[in-house]
């Protein structure tokens, strides 16, 4: 996606945000807009604390409590998705394109991936008896490629460094 396409999509998402806020009766405050904008730009599914730290320079009067309350409000009106990690720390993302999550058990990284085959599966009819489904998503847990590579590198025996070794003297004094 080139920069022009990204900017167009970003502007469309901000317009969608404004429409949802208006239809929910929420004022479009500067703080709400900046919190949502930061989530749209984030690739790492930040926690409320991380969002607060990122926004501190732009919005020094923004409290952590306001970030939490705003995220809760956004979640209620389906603007953001809360992702619970194994550490029980909520991470957040703006709801944009349909995707799923890979969570690394070792470093905590959250990686988005798409799975069209899963998205096309018809859900069991018995779910209708349980309630109305609003959205489905898969969370897969394991070790990311970077952690696996780091483990493999740590497990390899150290190699002898021969770059500083001096060849034995083969000359004879005779």
Distance CA 14, CA 41 (A): 11
Q: What is the DSSP string of 97-162?
A: S--EEEEETTT--EEEE--HHHHHSPPPTTHHHH--------EEEE--HHHHHHHHHHHSPPPP--
- pTM comes to 0.71
For residue 145, the model assigns a pLDDT of 96
Q: Which CATH number fits domain 98-155: 3.30.1490.190, 3.80.30.20, 3.40.50.720, 3.40.190.10?
A: 3.30.1490.190
Predicted pLDDT at 99: 85
Residue 84, helix vs strand vs coil? strand
The DSSP letter of residue 88 is: S
Could you read off the pLDDT tens digit of each residue along the chain, which spans 174 residues?
A: 567 777 888 889 999 999 999 999 999 999 999 999 999 999 889 999 999 999 999 999 999 999 999 999 999 999 999 988 777 788 998 877 788 889 999 998 888 888 899 888 888 989 888 998 887 888 899 999 999 999 999 888 766 655 555 555 554 554
CATH number of 1-96: 1.10.10.10
Supply the pLDDT for residue 43: 87
Which pLDDT does position 136 carry in this prediction?
83
Would you kindly state where each structural domain of the chain is located, as residue ranges? 1-96, 98-155
């Amino acid at each position: 996606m080139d920069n022009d396409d990204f900017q167009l999509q970003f502007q469309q998402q901000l317009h969608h945000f404004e429409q949802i806020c208006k239809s929910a009766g929420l004022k479009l405050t500067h703080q709400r807009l900046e919190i949502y904008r930061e989530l749209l730009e984030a690739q790492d599914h930040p926690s409320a604390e991380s969002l607060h730290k990122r926004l501190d320079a732009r919005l020094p009067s923004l409290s952590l409590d306001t970030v939490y309350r705003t995220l809760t409000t956004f979640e209620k009106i389906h603007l953001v998705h809360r992702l619970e990690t194994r550490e029980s720390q909520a991470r957040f993302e703006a709801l944009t394109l349909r995707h799923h999550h890979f969570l690394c058990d070792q470093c905590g990284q959250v990686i988005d991936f798409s799975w069209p085959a899963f998205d096309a599966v018809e859900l069991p009819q018995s779910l209708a008896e349980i309630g109305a489904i609003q959205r489905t998503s898969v969370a897969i847990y394991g070790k990311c490629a970077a952690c696996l590579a780091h483990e493999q590198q740590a497990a390899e025996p150290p190699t002898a460094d021969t770059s500083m070794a001096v060849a034995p003297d083969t000359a004879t004094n005779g």
